[in-house]
Amino acid sequence: MDDGVSALVEMTGISKSYGGVHACRDIDLTVRAGEVHALLGENGAGKSTLMKVLSGDVTDHTGEIRVAGVPRRFGAPVDAQRAGIAMIHQELDLVPELSVAENIFLGREPRTRLRTVDRRAMITMTRGLLDRCGVRLDPRRPVGALRTGEQQLVTIAKALSLDAQVLIMDEPTSALSPVEVEQMFTVITELRRAGAGIVYISHRMDEIGRIADRATVLRNGAVVEEFDARELTAERAAEAMVGRPVQAMFRTRAVEPGEEILRVRDLALTPRRARSGRREPDGISLTVRRGEIVGVGGLLGSGRTELLETLFGAGPPGTVRGEILLRGRPVRPRGPRQALALGLAFVPEDRRIAGLAIDHSVLANTVLSIVERIATAGIVPRARETSAARRIVADLKVKVGSIGDAVGTLSGGNQQKVVFGRMLLTEPLLLLLDEPTRGVDVGAKAEIYALLGRAAEQGIGVLLASSEPAELVGVCDRVVVLSGGRSVRELDTSHAGEAELLAASMGEGSTAIAVDTGGAG
Amino acid sequence: MTRTVPHRGSGGRVVAALFRFQSLFGLVAVFVVAVVFSPRHDGALLFLDGDNLFNVVRAVSEIGIMAVGMTFVILVGGIDLSVGAVLGLAAVGSAVLMVDSDFGVFAAVAVVLLIGLGFGFLQGLASAVFGIQAFIVTLAGMQIARGLARIWSGGQGVAIAYGDGPGEAPLAFSLLGERTFNGLVPIPALIFAVVAVVAIVFLRTSAFSRHMYAIGGNEQAARLSGVPVTRVKVAVFCICGFLAALAGIVHAGQLNQGSPNDGFGYELDAIAAVVIGGTSLMGGRGSVTGTVAGALLLGVLNNFLGLHGVDPNIQLLVKGLVIVVAAGLQRLRPAG
Amino acid sequence: MAQRRALATVFALALTLSAACGTTSENSGQNPQPGAAGGDACAGPDGTYTIGMSQANVAEPYRERMDDDIRTAAAKVPQFTVEFADAQQDNAKQVADVENFLTKQIDLLIISPNEATPLTSVVAKAYNKGIPVIVLDRKVDGDAYTTWIGADNVEIGRTAGKYVAEQLLPNGGKVGELRGLAGSTPAKERGDGFREGIRGTNIDIVTSSDGDWLREKGQAQADAMFTANPDIEVVYAHNDPMAEGAYLAAKAAGKEKSLKFIGIDGLPIPSGGLKAVEQGRLSATLIYPTAGNEAVETAKQLLIDCEEVPREQTLTTELITIDNAATVYDEANS
């Protein structure tokens, strides 16, 4: 390790487990001054946990962290910040209404002698910081008016103002346009020249090849390989990241697909008002047949969620072009209610935000979509309501004391089953699922896959959007790969494996690998 | 017995029940205090005097009727500040229609109820369809209803005289100021009871109420689950406006007058009853049972303080404290 | 009684618990004996008496002073205990206040009604129970009360009008009016009276705005008034606080010397109209007597002296100018 360049941070023997699951096992990682260290790995490989340990977010780990040679124990993120380690979060913690300068100096504004905020000094200092990053931005502009990439640069400037020596960047380019990516690289180069150490998490091999010095690949919570980043190829990285047989938890095909349920042709949506951070469909074609599970893959920002939302009528208002045929009949759902009536069902990505009333009972949450259907003259018979809820709870093996319990008291996997159950109760033709196993433990994952298999056996068509290549390859019959809101490839998973999927996700000419969003480890 | 939260966790279920029915326990507590410390006259407890107890219920009936509607709006995460002004508009409307326009009782009542419903409809539309915050919409609605009441009444209280002649209201309307069951039960209290029972049953049994709770609990999830969010919200504002108008009719009948200043500040009393009743201002949990108990609690408190001749300014302090305590208890309530 | 109480309790619980409700009671509904009000209430000087005073609101200084006058006067009568209630400008609250007094079985009711019609029936209920009722300031409808004591707002308005016509603008001129709360009787009467007072002269009321009895509202309305009508010479306000507000607005515009201000009420308190006249801010005010002293005096006649009292006792107003302001103030507070 010691090759003459001073180590800013040395992590040795870091382990951390959640419940019985090892998120990190005995990991060693060094960040040196003036180096960009890429961290690679699939979802759940342990990247996020490792970085949470380094940034003081996770504190109950074993192993040692040395900063500039001194052993440190962080009790909270603020300790890590004081030690010069800053995390650039994907969700930016900026106040949109305040200016760039105000955001950077939020809570520690320079004062005049009269104790009022010294705006002039604040703006001058901000200019200096931005110059150090090689960024041209007016410090007085409100952050809300900046583009995502510019906001990210402001966050970096803020970290620098806190004298950060080590910057952790988690997918910093995922939401950026090519021009912004170039700008970001300029900044990173500047930082490296100034002697900062950078941990760079990304899945785009072209980026890693361009700016990283070293790369560490994690798999199942452990370091599997270290590379000199400049010699790294996409193939080698993919091998190291996947490096395991497709898990047995995935189902094996039981039924032959039947008639075609859904056909989408050249689907595109032009929203009335553009929202940043969204990639609306811009030419997607696919089909789903009865009993078939079709995957939707692609990089973060390729438009997976947006496709499902558009099909379900839950996207932003705007003009939809192209065709959606449901059992041969053209449809155009204007809202979830209409979509449900047509036989579509949707399990959204974030169940706490979009799926559940967390304070309400399992009963209330499961039957919500069918209360009108089981009501007589608007009155819901209690018996019919509870029997429907009990049946689905038993079917899906939801672990719950009583259906009267608040859904918020359930584990993530069981919460997910409640949302799933609500949709199954509507007896849909087609089930749209967005990241159904996000934040769910391994056991519940397997159960959810089994449920998907059973739904398919019953003749339901399933469209499954996921960021996990293993999941797509293991669960789906076919995978449609999206890129930039377009469907670019379709893979038959009986012939193609994860490596092909990863390669396909890169699109033409691109060397990005994997379809990870770097989510929960 | 009612869906405060539609069912909750087994862990701490007893505690949860305590919180769920906090207003009932509060009501019982205040009631007991009122009995124990009741002023006496010739040895009899004045508070427990039959007339007095009915006075309490009569006095809270208007606020109670409005608070039921307010509960609905708050359950879907909204608020309606216009109810007091709509009460004034309805009181003026009842008086003017019967006295000046020679409407019969049923015609006048029907028209006024429709006005209240229509007013709620417009507010619901503005809030649910155009996405203006309910607070703002109904703040504006409050001014508009007050202005309409002033215009309609010519700025004066319109006295209601009874009789068959022109310029006189049908005698039947004066029933609102009277008592039934041998002059014992005030008609307004009876109306309040009917409204409360219907609302409680409705909230417990209807598919619509499941939608209301879901919207208040998580609007996005409700929308994605096929709940017609906009329609439900508009309907809820309609119900609230309708009940405010009903309270206005009762008000005019009790006081034999419709004045444009009637109901001034009542919206705050109604909100207080809802809050004391344990309904979350964030929406999604609460019950009409709680609200009714909250309204009665305020009534008993008013009566008790009044019977003791407590300084009116101190009375305000006491009521303020009760609201703060009720809201504070909600925060202690075990979450999810 | 016990049965009624039980029924009432059950009713309240029924309402709460959403159970069924409603049974009839056999021994209820004894109708109160009408008439003979005050007749059996008098127990002479040996009795002790609880008097209920139902005030429309204590936010207005005038009504606060009325309560104070009653408190002071009653303190001199050892047999009297007075309880006060504040209806906070709400008719329904005042009805409940009076009902509370009836529950407490007061011996005499003094009421200053928020409005006439809404309070009529509860006042009649008290009167029909044999409780003497003294109505102050605003009347109630009908004649189910013992006596009314108050001043004539039309007469006061008329006096104000005549004063303007004869003293301030003998050759005619323009007047701005700041009215009391829209819909209230005194606002109407003080306005109508004033118009009678200036009838047949060259005086024009060029503008009227609602000041809602409030100083700050009066100030805001006067601001607008002076901008829209720079040629106003006199401001007639329906009470002193609004007149003071108008004075402040004029001062802000540098016009306080050229304008004249008249108010009504003339309260003998430091912030009242008498002081404002004495200190030269207002040209004149008209005394609107609180009737507090007279009410206690009448209660004494009814309860202790067992005397008949007249049905109406109209108190006279008095025009206050710089000449008599100080004297009247001292007399009222002696």
The full set of domain ranges for chain C reads 35-150+291-313, 153-289+320-332
Cβ burial of A490 (10 Å; 0-12, 13-18, 19+) is middle
Are the C-beta atoms of residues C326 and C298 closer than 8 Å to each other?
Answer: no
The residue behind tokens 């029997």 is: A387
The residue behind tokens 């925060």 is: B331
Residues 34-73, chain A: which have Cβ within 8 Å of B? Answer: none
How far is A235 from A254, CA to CA, in rounded Å?
Answer: 32
For A348-484, list the strands marked E by DSSP: 430-434, 461-465, 478-483
Note whether A touches B: 3 CB pairs or more under 8 A.
Answer: yes
| Class of the CATH domain delimited by C35-150+291-313 | alpha beta
A44 closest CA partner among A317, A490, A435: A435
Cβ burial of C227 (10 Å; 0-12, 13-18, 19+) is exposed
Query: CB contact, 8 Å: B264 with chain C?
Result: yes
Side by side, which strands form the sheet with A21-32?
A21-32, A7-18, A62-67, A70-72
Task: Identify the H or E element spanning A215.
Answer: strand A214-219
DSSP letter (8 states) at residue B86: H
B89 closest CA partner among B146, B140, B137, B169: B146
pLDDT confidence of residue A471: 85
In angstroms, the separation between the Cα of residue B276 and the nearest Cα of chain A is 20
pLDDT confidence of residue A437: 82
Query: CB contact, 8 Å: B131 with chain A?
Result: no
Of A339, A340, A359, the CB nearest to B336: A359
A468 closest CA partner among A314, A288, A241: A241
- In this complex, the chains that touch A, judged by 3 or more CB pairs closer than 8 A, are B
How far is B261 from B155, CA to CA, in rounded Å?
Answer: 9
C191 closest CA partner among C233, C220, C153: C153
Residues A355, B221: C-beta atoms closer than 8 Å? yes
pLDDT confidence of residue A250: 57
Residues 267-296, chain B: which have Cβ within 8 Å of C? Answer: 289, 292-293, 296
Residue C70 structure tokens:
């009653």
How far is C277 from C267, CA to CA, in rounded Å?
Answer: 11
Query: CB contact, 8 Å: C130 with chain B?
Result: no
B262 closest CA partner among C84, C95, A339: C95
pLDDT confidence of residue A77: 83
DSSP letter (8 states) at residue A99: B
Which amino acid is residue A356, in one-letter code?
L
Residues B218, A422: C-beta atoms closer than 8 Å? no
Task: Identify the H or E element spanning A8.
Answer: strand A7-18
- In this complex, the chains that touch B, judged by 3 or more CB pairs closer than 8 A, are A, C
- Which chain C residue shows the shortest CA-CA distance from B156? C183
Residue B63 structure tokens:
């606020």
Of B205, B206, B217, the CB nearest to A357: B217
Mutation site, B201, B202, B224, interface A, largest A CB count within 10 A? B224
- For residue A168, give every residue at least 6 positions away whose Cβ sits within 8 Å of its Cβ, in sequence order, or none: A51, A54, A55, A85, A86, A87, A88, A198, A199, A201
Note whether B touches C: 3 CB pairs or more under 8 A.
Answer: yes
Asked which of A423-437, C35-49, C214-228, C311-325 is least confident by mean pLDDT, the reply is C35-49
pLDDT confidence of residue B315: 86
C297 closest CA partner among C137, C73, C100, C121: C73
Query: CB contact, 8 Å: B251 with chain A?
Result: no
Of A354, A378, A409, the CB nearest to B206: A378
Query: CB contact, 8 Å: B41 with chain C?
Result: yes
Residue ranges of the alpha helices (H) in A430-477?
442-457, 469-475
How far is C31 from B191, CA to CA, in rounded Å?
Answer: 24
Asked which of C7-21, C197-211, C272-286 is least confident by mean pLDDT, the reply is C7-21
In angstroms, the separation between the Cα of residue B94 and the nearest Cα of chain C is 14
Residues A380, B207: C-beta atoms closer than 8 Å? yes
Q: DSSP for C257-322, please give it.
A: TT-EEEEEE--SSTTSHHHHHHTTSSSEEEE----HHHHHHHHHHHHTS-----SEEEEPP-EE-T
Residues 187-206, chain C: which have Cβ within 8 Å of B? Answer: 188
Of B5, B208, B226, the CB nearest to A360: B5
Residues of chain A with pLDDT under 70: 1-5, 19-21, 43-44, 90-92, 174-178, 203-205, 234-235, 238, 242-255, 276-277, 439, 441-443, 506-521
Which amino acid is residue A327, in one-letter code?
R
Residue C202 structure tokens:
């060259």
**Average pLDDT across chain C, whole number:** 86
Residues A402, B222: C-beta atoms closer than 8 Å? no
For chain C, list the strands marked E by DSSP: 49-55, 80-86, 108-112, 133-136, 147-151, 173-179, 203-210, 234-237, 260-265, 284-287, 312-315, 319-320
B123 closest CA partner among B4, B233, B222: B233
Query: CB contact, 8 Å: A427 with chain B?
Result: no
Task: Identify the H or E element spanning A185.
Answer: helix A178-193
Q: What stretch(es) of chain A map to CATH 3.40.50.300?
A: 7-242, 245-343+429-521
pLDDT confidence of residue C52: 95
Most distant CA pair in chain A, distance: 80
Mutation site, B218, B227, B230, interface A, largest A CB count within 10 A? B218
How far is A262 from C140, CA to CA, in rounded Å?
Answer: 77
pLDDT band at B294 (very low <50, low <70, confident <90, very high): very high
Average pLDDT over residues C21-34: 34
Q: Where are the domains of chain B?
A: 63-264+279-285
Phi, psi (rounded to 5 degrees) for C329: -60, -50
Residues C182, B155: C-beta atoms closer than 8 Å? yes
pLDDT confidence of residue C32: 39
- Buried residues in B142-179 as b, exposed as e (16+ CB within 10 A): bebbbebbbebbebbbbbbeeeeeeeebbeebbebbeb
Asked which of A189-198, B116-125, B211-220 is least confident by mean pLDDT, the reply is A189-198
Query: CB contact, 8 Å: B14 with chain A?
Result: no
Q: What's the fold here for domain C153-289+320-332?
A: Rossmann fold (3.40.50)
Domain A245-343+429-521 = CATH 3.20.20.60:
no
Most distant CA pair in chain B, distance: 66
SS3 of residue B335 by DSSP:
coil
Domain A7-242 = CATH 3.40.50.300:
yes
Note whether A touches C: 3 CB pairs or more under 8 A.
Answer: no
Residues C18, B254: C-beta atoms closer than 8 Å? no
- In this complex, the chains that touch C, judged by 3 or more CB pairs closer than 8 A, are B
pLDDT above 70 (res C180)? yes
| Helix, strand, coil fractions of chain A, as percent rounded to 5 | 35, 25, 40
In angstroms, the separation between the Cα of residue B6 and the nearest Cα of chain A is 6
Which amino acid is residue C145, in one-letter code?
Y
Cβ burial of A439 (10 Å; 0-12, 13-18, 19+) is middle
- For residue C6, give every residue at least 6 positions away whose Cβ sits within 8 Å of its Cβ, in sequence order, or none: none
How far is A515 from A517, CA to CA, in rounded Å?
Answer: 7
pLDDT confidence of residue A48: 81
How far is A221 from A49, CA to CA, in rounded Å?
Answer: 9
Residues B225, A368: C-beta atoms closer than 8 Å? yes
Greater confidence (B334 vs B205) lies with B205
In angstroms, the separation between the Cα of residue C240 and the nearest Cα of chain B is 22
How far is B6 from A366, CA to CA, in rounded Å?
Answer: 12
Are the C-beta atoms of residues B9 and A362 closer than 8 Å to each other?
Answer: no
Query: CB contact, 8 Å: B217 with chain A?
Result: yes
DSSP letter (8 states) at residue A43: T
Q: How many CB atoms lie within 10 A of CB C289?
A: 23
Query: CB contact, 8 Å: A334 with chain B?
Result: no
Of C8, C18, C90, the CB nearest to B200: C18
pLDDT confidence of residue A198: 92
**Average pLDDT across chain B, whole number:** 88
Residues A422, B225: C-beta atoms closer than 8 Å? yes
pLDDT band at C2 (very low <50, low <70, confident <90, very high): low
How far is A321 from A318, CA to CA, in rounded Å?
Answer: 10
Residue C155 structure tokens:
């007469």
Query: CB contact, 8 Å: A372 with chain B?
Result: yes
For A95-161, list the strands marked E by DSSP: none
Residues B218, A357: C-beta atoms closer than 8 Å? yes
pLDDT confidence of residue C27: 33
pLDDT confidence of residue C31: 38
pLDDT above 90 (res C28)? no
Mutation site, A340, A360, A427, A432, interface B, largest B CB count within 10 A? A360
pLDDT confidence of residue A253: 59
In angstroms, the separation between the Cα of residue C76 and the nearest Cα of chain B is 21
pLDDT confidence of residue B47: 85
SS3 of residue C30 by DSSP:
coil
Domains C35-150+291-313 and C153-289+320-332 share a fold: yes
pLDDT confidence of residue B92: 96
Average pLDDT over residues C59-80: 91
Cα-based torsion angle of the residue sequence C321, C323, C329, C330 in order, rounded to the nearest 10 degrees: -170
Sign of the CA dihedral A385, A387, A389, A392?
A: negative
Of B210, B228, B284, the CB nearest to A380: B210
Task: Identify the H or E element spanning A225.
Answer: strand A222-228
Residues B217, A346: C-beta atoms closer than 8 Å? no
In angstroms, the separation between the Cα of residue A425 and the nearest Cα of chain B is 11
How far is A383 from A400, CA to CA, in rounded Å?
Answer: 19
pLDDT confidence of residue B166: 81
